[in-house]
């Protein structure tokens, strides 16, 4: 039974991290758009597509574009610090998610600079020097890996030999199902 709970935890938490990463990233774009006086026309968060935020008018496109990855980094590291200080029981989940966010966004911006795709392409078109995108990736990607270091036992890996907290596995499954239902109900592709 312990391997079943382990599979449930890992098999639901990874896709939950992907969907939550896109939501936090878009929150960064939205918050910077509103802060700069832009108008958010549409936010796409759907499990079958890549997320995006449409802003028009957008008086500060570079600020809004950088807001996607940067607001999320600051927000998640702040939440992680608060969770660690408060000794929150499931801090390891937030730590894993923060690492996931940093790795995904670091790769997206850093590697995206070579193909000028997505936000990286927008950053370059609006005047960001290429080296700033590389620096973002060089800092966030390895720091994300650092955050993951030592978390394996919480997911039943290594000496834990498949043992995980079953309530954590069920909570992860429930959150994934809730996220999928909400995204499919309230978002268009």
Residues 135-179: pLDDT tens digits?
A: 999 999 999 999 999 999 999 999 999 999 999 999 999 999 999
Integer angstrom CA distances of residue 9 from 19, 144, 176: 15, 20, 10
Whether residue 1 has pLDDT greater than 70:
no
pLDDT at 189: 66
Integer angstrom CA distances of residue 130 from 29, 105, 139: 20, 16, 15
Taking the complete model, does pTM exceed 0.85, yes or no?
Answer: yes
pLDDT at 186: 87
Across residues 44-55, what is the average pLDDT? 95
Q: For residue range 8-46, list pLDDT tens digits in order.
A: 999 999 999 999 999 999 999 999 999 999 999 999 999
In this structure, are residues 58 and 33 in contact, taking their beta carbons and an 8 Å threshold?
yes
Confidence band of 187 (pLDDT split at 50, 70, 90): confident
Instruction: Give the percent of the chain with pLDDT over 90.
Output: 97
Q: How far apart (Å, rounded) are the C-alpha atoms in residues 128 and 57?
A: 20
Beta pairing class for 40-44 and 52-55: antiparallel
In this structure, are residues 99 and 148 in contact, taking their beta carbons and an 8 Å threshold?
yes
């Amino acid at each position: 039974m312990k391997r079943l709970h382990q599979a449930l935890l890992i098999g639901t938490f990874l896709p939950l991290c992907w969907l939550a990463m896109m939501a936090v990233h878009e929150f960064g774009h939205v918050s910077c758009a509103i802060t700069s006086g832009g108008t958010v026309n549409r936010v796409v968060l759907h499990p079958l597509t890549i997320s995006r935020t449409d802003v028009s008018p957008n008086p500060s496109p570079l600020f809004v574009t950088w807001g996607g990855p940067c607001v999320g980094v600051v927000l998640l590291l702040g939440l992680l610090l608060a969770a660690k200080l408060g000794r929150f029981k499931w801090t390891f989940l937030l730590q894993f998610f923060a690492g996931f966010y940093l790795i995904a966004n670091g790769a997206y911006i850093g590697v995206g600079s070579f193909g000028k795709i997505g936000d990286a392409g927008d950053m370059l078109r609006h005047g960001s020097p290429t080296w700033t995108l590389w620096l973002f990736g060089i800092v966030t990607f390895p720091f994300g890996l650092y955050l993951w270091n030592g978390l394996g036992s919480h997911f039943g890996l290594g000496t834990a030999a498949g043992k995980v907290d079953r309530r954590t596995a069920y909570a992860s499954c429930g959150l994934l199902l809730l996220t999928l239902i909400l995204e499919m109900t309230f978002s268009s592709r």
